[in-house]
Amino acid sequence: MRLHYPSNIKIVKIPCTGKVDLIHLLRAMEKGADGVYVVGCLEGACQFISGNISARKRVEQAQEILESIGIGGERIQMYNLSSSEAPLFAQVATEMTEKIKEMGPNPIRLAMKKKAA
């Protein structure tokens, strides 16, 4: 549909959001990502029954952990949409980018830069 969405997003394709584990979300942040968002199927419409439900639980766990260590739990979010809802995908991408821009860069990335300097 040639819709525009922010270019700072790296897409990682997976067969089902149920494949996303807590450690994947945390590692991304550990390596310096400013935010991670998980986009899965609408609840009740998961091809693998409840993969998206598991993903949501893990996203919530990651939010709690990041909040407790001072990185900011809001950096990880989950969205549910149907694979045919392209405009919504673009909107979500923009929304997430705005949210992260507001929060500022990942303190871990800044610390890594400082260490390298």
Partner 1 sequence: MIVAEKKPIEEIAEEVKEFNKILITGCNECVTVCEAGGKKEVAVLASTLRMYFMNQGKDLTIDEITLERQCDHEYLEEIRNVIDQYDAVISLACGVGVQFTAEKYLRTPVFPGVNTCFMGVSEERGVWSERCQGCGQCMLGKTAGICPISRCAKRLLNGPCGGSTQGKCEISKDLDCAWQLIIDRLDELGRMGDYEEIIPIKDWSTERAGGPRKVVREDVKI
Query: Of residues 8, 19, 30, 43, which one binds partner 1 by CB under 8 A?
Result: 30
The CA-atom distances, in angstroms, between 10 and each of 5, 38, 48, 63, 68 are: 12, 12, 24, 20, 26
Confirm or reject binding of residue 111 to partner 1 (CB under 8 A): yes
Confirm or reject binding of residue 107 to partner 1 (CB under 8 A): yes
Confirm or reject binding of residue 10 to partner 1 (CB under 8 A): no
Q: Using alpha carbons only, give the angle 10, 66, 44 rounded to the nearest 5 degrees.
A: 65
Residues of this chain that bind partner 1 (CB under 8 A): 21-23, 26-27, 29-30, 65-66, 68-71, 107-108, 111-112, 114-115
